[in-house]
Amino acid sequence: MRAINGEKFVIKGSTERLKGTLPVRGSKNACLKALAAAVLTDQPITIKNIPLIEDVFRMRELLEFLGAKIKKTGQRSFLISAGNVKKSCLDFKIAKSLRASVALTGPLLARLGTVSFPFPGGCVIGKRPIDMFLNGFEKMGAKVFIKGRGNNFTIKAKALKGAEIFFRIASVMATETLMMAATLAQGRTILRNAAQEPEIADLADFLNSCGARVKGAGTGTIVINGVKKLGPGIFNTPPDRIEAGSFTILGALLGDKLRVVNCEPLHILSLIEHLESMGVSLKKGKDWLEVSRPRYFKPVNVKTREYPGFPTDLQAPFSVLLTQARGISSLFETVYDGRLNYINDLIRMGANVILCDAHRAIFHGQTCLKGREMEAPDLRAGLTFILAALIAKGKSIIHNVYNIDRGYEKIEERLRNAGAAIERVV
Ranges under pLDDT 50 in the chain: 1-3, 123-126
Provide the angle, in degrees to the nearest 10, between the axes of the packed helices 379-391 and 312-322: 20
pTM score of the predicted model? 0.95
What does the pLDDT read at residue 163?
98
Sign of the torsion formed by the C-alpha atoms of 123, 128, 132 and 137: positive
Q: Are 22 and 260 in contact (CB under 8 A)?
A: yes
Whole-angstrom distance, CA of residue 262 vs CA of residue 422? 23
Give the domains, in start order, of the chain with CATH numbers: 8-25+239-425 (3.65.10.10), 28-236 (3.65.10.10)
Q: List pLDDT tens digits, range 381-402.
A: 999 999 999 999 999 999 999 9
What does the pLDDT read at residue 2?
45
Name 235's Cβ contacts closer than 8 Å, sequence gap at least 6: 34, 37, 45, 46, 47, 48, 202, 206
Whole-angstrom distance, CA of residue 265 vs CA of residue 231? 33
What does the pLDDT read at residue 6?
82
What does the pLDDT read at residue 5?
60
CA angle 205, 209, 212 (to 5 degrees): 85
What does the pLDDT read at residue 1?
42
What does the pLDDT read at residue 337?
83
CB count, 10 Å around CB of 258?
A: 25
The DSSP secondary structure of 334-389, one letter per residue, reads -S-TTTTTTHHHHHHTT-EEEE-SSSEEEEEE----B--EEE--SHHHHHHHHHHH
Torsional class of 3: left (φ above 0), alpha (ψ -120 to 50), beta (otherwise): beta
What does the pLDDT read at residue 138?
98
- Of 426, 376, 421, the residue nearest 12 (C-alpha): 421
- Of 99, 121, 63, the residue nearest 173 (C-alpha): 99
User: Pairing relation of β-strands 288-292 and 281-284?
Assistant: antiparallel
Q: List pLDDT tens digits, range 181-213.
A: 999 999 999 999 999 999 999 999 999 999 999
Q: List pLDDT tens digits, range 315-325.
A: 999 999 999 99
The residues carrying an active-site annotation are: 123
What does the pLDDT read at residue 118?
93
Q: Are 126 and 133 in contact (CB under 8 A)?
A: no
